[in-house]
Structure 1
Amino acid sequence: MNDSLVIMGVSGCGKSSLAAAVAEAEGLPLVEGDAHHSEASREKMRAGVALTDADRAGWLERLAAELCAHPQGCVLACSALRRSYRDVLRSASPGLRFAFLDIAPEEAQARVAARSAHFFSPRLVDNQFATLESPLGEPRVRRLDATAPLSRLQTEVSTWLHTEEPA
Structure 2
Amino acid sequence: MKVIVMGVTSTGKSLTGAMLAEALGGRFVDGDDLHPEANRAKMARGTPLTDADRWPWLDAIGAEMARAEGPVVVACSALKAAYRRRIEAAAGAVAFVHLHGPKAVIAARMAAREGHFMPVSLLDSQLETLEMPGPDECARTFDLREPPEVIVRQAAAWVRTVG
TM range (shorter): over 0.9
Unaligned ranges ≥5, structure 2: none
Determine if contact 1:10/1:132 at 8 Å carries over to the other structure: yes
Question: What's the offset of the Cα at 1:90?
Answer: 1.2
Question: What's the offset of the Cα at 1:107?
Answer: 1.1
Question: What's the offset of the Cα at 1:71?
Answer: 4.4
Percent sequence identity is 37
Q: Kindly provide the CA deviation profile for residues 117-150 of structure 1, in whole angstroms up to 9, marking residues without a partner as x.
A: 2111110000000000111323211110011000
Q: Which residue of 2 aligns with 1:102?
A: 100
Q: Kindly provide the CA deviation profile for residues 81-135 of structure 1, in whole angstroms up to 9, marking residues without a partner as x.
A: 0111000111123321001111111111111111002111110000000000111
What is the letter of the counterpart of residue 153 of structure 1? I
Distance in structure 1 (CA, Å) of the matches to 2:119 and 2:8: 13
What is the letter of the counterpart of residue 60 of structure 1? L
Distance in structure 1 (CA, Å) of the matches to 2:70 and 2:23: 15
Unaligned ranges ≥5, structure 1: none
Determine if contact 2:46/2:121 at 8 Å carries over to the other structure: yes
Q: Does 1:53 align with 2:14?
A: no
CA RMSD in angstroms, aligned pairs only: 1.2
**Partner of residue 142 from structure 2, selected from 127, 136, 144:** 144
Determine if contact 1:13/1:146 at 8 Å carries over to the other structure: yes
**Partner of residue 68 from structure 1, selected from 66, 84, 93:** 66
Distance in structure 2 (CA, Å) of the matches to 1:7 and 1:140: 12
Q: Which residue of 2 aligns with 1:20?
A: 18
Q: Which residue of 2 aligns with 1:162?
A: 160
Determine if contact 1:67/1:73 at 8 Å carries over to the other structure: no
Q: Which residue of 1 aligns with 2:151?
A: 153
Q: Report the 3-state secondary structure (helix = DSSP H, G, I; strand = E; otherwise coil) of the residue aligned with 1:90.
A: helix
Distance in structure 1 (CA, Å) of the matches to 2:159 and 2:125: 31
Q: Kindly provide the CA deviation profile for residues 17-76 of structure 1, in whole angstroms up to 9, marking residues without a partner as x.
A: 100000111111111100011111111111111000011111011111101111423001
So what's the TM-score if we normalise by structure 2?
0.95
Q: Report the 3-state secondary structure (helix = DSSP H, G, I; strand = E; otherwise coil) of the residue aligned with 2:47.
A: coil
**Partner of residue 29 from structure 2, selected from 27, 31, 41:** 31
Distance in structure 2 (CA, Å) of the matches to 1:110 and 1:57: 29
So what's the TM-score if we normalise by structure 1?
0.93
